[in-house]
């Protein structure tokens, strides 16, 4: 299957984006039954959800921020969750940790190669989170204190 994907990539000499799967039929030999496609999607989704969750506990984030982070983990290719949090993207990571959703949206175009449509969708998700959960500096300080207390009590 990877051989066919790589062949498609070479044939198009660019990323495969926005094209319906049926348009690629002339370039492939294999068919994937819907149940197998669903199984592979669920497996892949769990991998990237777990990667995003390892970085930023999703349960503590607004739903729209969760979706954006999972999408980002997917786009970054994420079985290595440190990929987009480490020193590669400090402004984005800092915004997430501070719960500054507006700033996270501004910094959400961190992926290479850049994908403008996807970045815009991710930014819109963070902006929606910002409207629902406005950023307050004083709340960030309280959140850090609470996180410190929780982490020290679990030792």
pLDDT digits (tens, 9 = 90+) for 91-124: 888 898 889 999 999 988 766 666 788 888 999 9
- How many domains are there within the chain? 1
Domain carrying residue 88: 39-153
Question: How many helices (H) and strands (E) are present in the chain, helices listed first?
Answer: 7, 0
Residue 112 lies in a domain: yes
Residue 52 lies in a domain: yes
Residue 129 lies in a domain: yes
Residue 145 lies in a domain: yes
Three-class secondary structure of residue 140 per DSSP: helix
Could you report the per-residue pLDDT of 54-85, keeping only the tens digit for each?
888 899 899 999 999 998 888 876 556 555 55
Residue 111 lies in a domain: yes
Q: Does the global pTM surpass 0.85?
A: no
Tokens coding 34: 């819907």
């Amino acid at each position: 299957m990877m051989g066919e994907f790589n062949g498609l990539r070479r044939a198009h000499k660019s990323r495969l984006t926005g094209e319906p799967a049926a348009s690629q039929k002339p370039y492939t030999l294999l068919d994937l039954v819907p149940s197998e496609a669903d199984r592979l999607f669920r497996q892949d989704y769990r991998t990237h959800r777990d990667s995003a969750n390892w970085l930023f506990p999703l349960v503590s984030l607004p739903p729209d921020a969760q979706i954006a982070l999972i999408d980002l983990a997917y786009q970054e290719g994420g079985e290595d969750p440190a990929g987009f949090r480490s020193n590669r993207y400090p402004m984005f990571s800092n915004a997430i940790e501070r719960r500054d959703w507006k700033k996270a949206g501004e910094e959400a175009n961190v992926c290479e190669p850049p994908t403008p449509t996807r970045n815009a969708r991710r930014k819109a998700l963070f902006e929606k989170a910002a409207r629902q959960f406005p950023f307050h500096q004083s709340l960030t300080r309280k959140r850090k204190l609470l996180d410190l207390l929780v982490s020290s009590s679990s030792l």
